[in-house]
Structure 1
Amino acid sequence: MRSSIQLASLNYALVVAEEGSFLRAARRAGIDHTALSRRIRDLEYAMGTRIFHRHARGVGPTPAGERFLDRLRSVLLELDNTLTLARTGIKDEQQRLSIGSNGLVLAGRALDVIIEFGKCHPNVTVRLIDGSYPEPTAALGGIQVDVTVTSSSRSNGGPFELMLWKDTLAVVAASNHSLANCPVIEWSELRQETLLVRRGEAFLLADAVGNGVQLPAIVEHHVSAGILLRLVGNGLGVALIYDGDANDVPEDAVCRKLRIGGKPIQICNFARWRPDNANPALPIFIAFLRDRYPS
């Protein structure tokens, strides 16, 4: 019987009992009165007994209906209390959230946001997975990543994506490099350079500069951003970072603005997640991001 009775129908029965009329109850519940009457009739059929008398002045509970409605009020009140306790437990219980990235983004501004989230929500333990993927959504294929904070030049256009901020690319070179004296570097000036990238960043770079634009020689390293910049400082090549992360450049390197055809190379940063992820910490993180980066 329980599987054939909907919770909404039980709530409607209480509203009908309080209003004494299908029409008034329908107005209060915000549904058509014929649909409400049909709901109550189906409920009575499923229970095998009449809950209400129908008469010219409206409706009233039968003796069996009176006993049922009294018990129903207690049951629904207990259900509300149980749900409240469950929500409180979710807030107080230590939770875990895995955040992945696809390269440059898990540093600087993005890392500051994640640190701020950790301070605002100490009951959520954040695990960072700095893995690079040919496509940002590939990280979400497994259960090890709840949400990705990724760089991309375009939106997927889906509802489970939040655009965070836009940034521009800059060049990092050794302080004694010939390009260090140029406040602005054109992409064409990198043609003879060795560009050091982290795993997966070559895909992001090609996507950002567009088809038909020649890339310099690229050497891919499976290392952290900090180690990559140390290689740059020692003259082993140049690298790209976000213009907003210029303060993270070590003392033996400099950061210079990058242009292509006189225009900056713009990169967007997105949060992406799966709609079927039931981790209770995920909506907390998404709400935190929406509050700081309203679309």
Structure 2
Amino acid sequence: MELQQLRYVLAVAEERNFTRAAEKCFVMQSALSHQIKSLEKELGVELFARTSRRVELTDAGAAFLPAARAALDAADRAVADAAAATGEIRGTLTIGVIPTVTAIDIPAALGEFHRAHPTVQIRLRGGGSDEFIKAIREGSIDVAVLGLPDATLPRGVATQVLARERLVAVLGPGHRLAERRRLRLSDLADETFVDFPAGTPGRAPSDLAFASAGVPRRVAFEAMGTDLMLDLVRHDLAITLLAPAVVPANSGLVTIPVTDGPTRIEYLTWSDFNPSPAALAFLRVAAVA
């Protein structure tokens, strides 16, 4: 079994197409197909069910894939660790970023990192805090920015607090409360809200604050991105609670402090067990290592 065969298997699994997988691996399709058939013969199982129009993992292929991916990751890490011993940072840096990052300029930090370590391949993933914590523990992400309620501590990862901030109410300019200088949660009891999906860390600070205050809340709209949230507010369909820096100054919307509103903590997180050389180099750029 060769590492290149594992790369071919992974490419076919991701593309679900031998032609596209061969293009992705910069190899002739016949060579890729031959290598996968050779691996299947060695293993004694078929990894893919294929016709001229369709390719799917078999049960054996699905069982084989996680360990194959881990083997490739381990091989890449071995190369990166060997290079790091000579002072050269190589390999891959995978960063997870939530939609509401406000405490760190990710593009600027990545730009500085790339100039210092041009041979490192940078990957950026969007998603939620819970999945990023799990991914860091599993080793599929190196570093992530999280946003969590102040009562929730990330566990099983190393962390650095980037910011603590109280969310503000975001209203349309014609809203009945738009002239107020301050609000309380009870002032918003009759409003229609847009928020992140129920059960997500982005939603949790607001849900916990309203529950603690004993104030009911109606969330009619759910969205994963703040742009859609702000558009719904702009069209007077809802109001929302967001970090102040998320709302552009030229948005035309009104932001009002909520004295008993939810507090959110933004963290930078990484592996507390064996961070990669690229992860440690990025942390130095971000000035937290």
TM class by shorter chain equals: 0.5 to 0.7
SS in 1 for 2:241: strand
- Are 2:96 and 2:144, in contact at CA under 8 Å, matched by a contact in 1? yes
Match for residue 277 of structure 2? Answer: 280
Q: Which residue identity does 1:148 align to in structure 2?
A: A
How far residue 109 of structure 1 moved from its aligned partner, in angstroms, is: 3.5
Q: Which runs of 5+ in 2 are unaligned?
A: 1-80
Change (3 A) 1:249 1:256: farther
Match for residue 235 of structure 1? Answer: 236
Q: Which residue identity does 1:247 align to in structure 2?
A: P
Rounded to whole Å, the distance in 1 between the matches of 2:122 and 2:259 is 36
Rounded to whole Å, the distance in 2 between the matches of 1:94 and 1:140 is 16
Q: Which residue identity does 2:236 align to in structure 1?
A: G
Rounded to whole Å, the distance in 2 between the matches of 1:141 and 1:215 is 36
Rounded to whole Å, the distance in 2 between the matches of 1:115 and 1:190 is 36
Match for residue 128 of structure 1? Answer: 124
Match for residue 193 of structure 1? Answer: 191
Match for residue 96 of structure 1? Answer: 93
How far residue 233 of structure 1 moved from its aligned partner, in angstroms, is: 0.3
- Are 1:193 and 1:216, in contact at CA under 8 Å, matched by a contact in 2? yes
Higher Rg of the two aligned structures: 1
SS in 1 for 2:265: strand
- Are 2:93 and 2:142, in contact at CA under 8 Å, matched by a contact in 1? no
1:150 pairs with one of 146, 152, 158: 146
Rounded to whole Å, the distance in 1 between the matches of 2:183 and 2:213 is 19
Match for residue 266 of structure 1? Answer: 263
How far residue 276 of structure 1 moved from its aligned partner, in angstroms, is: 4.0
How far residue 210 of structure 1 moved from its aligned partner, in angstroms, is: 6.0
Change (3 A) 1:130 1:88: same
How far residue 142 of structure 1 moved from its aligned partner, in angstroms, is: 4.8
- Are 1:167 and 1:244, in contact at CA under 8 Å, matched by a contact in 2? no
TM-score calculated relative to the size of structure 2: 0.58
How far residue 164 of structure 1 moved from its aligned partner, in angstroms, is: 1.2
Report the more deviating stretch, 235-244 or 141-150: 141-150
Quick check: 1:219 aligned with 2:217?
no
Match for residue 140 of structure 1? Answer: 136
Matched-pair identity in %: 18
Change (3 A) 1:143 1:194: farther
- Are 1:100 and 1:139, in contact at CA under 8 Å, matched by a contact in 2? no
Rounded to whole Å, the distance in 2 between the matches of 1:128 and 1:116 is 13
- Are 1:171 and 1:238, in contact at CA under 8 Å, matched by a contact in 2? yes
Rounded to whole Å, the distance in 2 between the matches of 1:207 and 1:242 is 16
Rounded to whole Å, the distance in 2 between the matches of 1:179 and 1:191 is 12
- Are 2:96 and 2:132, in contact at CA under 8 Å, matched by a contact in 1? no
Match for residue 257 of structure 2? Answer: 257
Report the more deviating stretch, 169-178 or 214-223: 214-223
SS in 2 for 1:236: coil
TM-score calculated relative to the size of structure 1: 0.57
Rounded to whole Å, the distance in 1 between the matches of 2:169 and 2:220 is 15
- The CA deviation string for residues 180-238 of structure 1, in whole angstroms up to 9 with x for no partner, is 11121211111011110123232232245563533410134234211210111001100
Match for residue 183 of structure 1? Answer: 181
- The CA deviation string for residues 272-295 of structure 1, in whole angstroms up to 9 with x for no partner, is 22334553221122233344xx9x
SS in 2 for 1:185: coil
Aligned length: 200
Change (3 A) 1:158 1:132: closer
Q: Which residue identity does 2:86 align to in structure 1?
A: R
Rounded to whole Å, the distance in 2 between the matches of 1:85 and 1:130 is 28
Rounded to whole Å, the distance in 2 between the matches of 1:158 and 1:250 is 38
How far residue 265 of structure 1 moved from its aligned partner, in angstroms, is: 3.6
- The CA deviation string for residues 231-290 of structure 1, in whole angstroms up to 9 with x for no partner, is 110011001111244435622x21111122xxx543221122233455322112223334
Rounded to whole Å, the distance in 2 between the matches of 1:240 and 1:164 is 20
Change (3 A) 1:287 1:250: same
Match for residue 161 of structure 2? Answer: 163
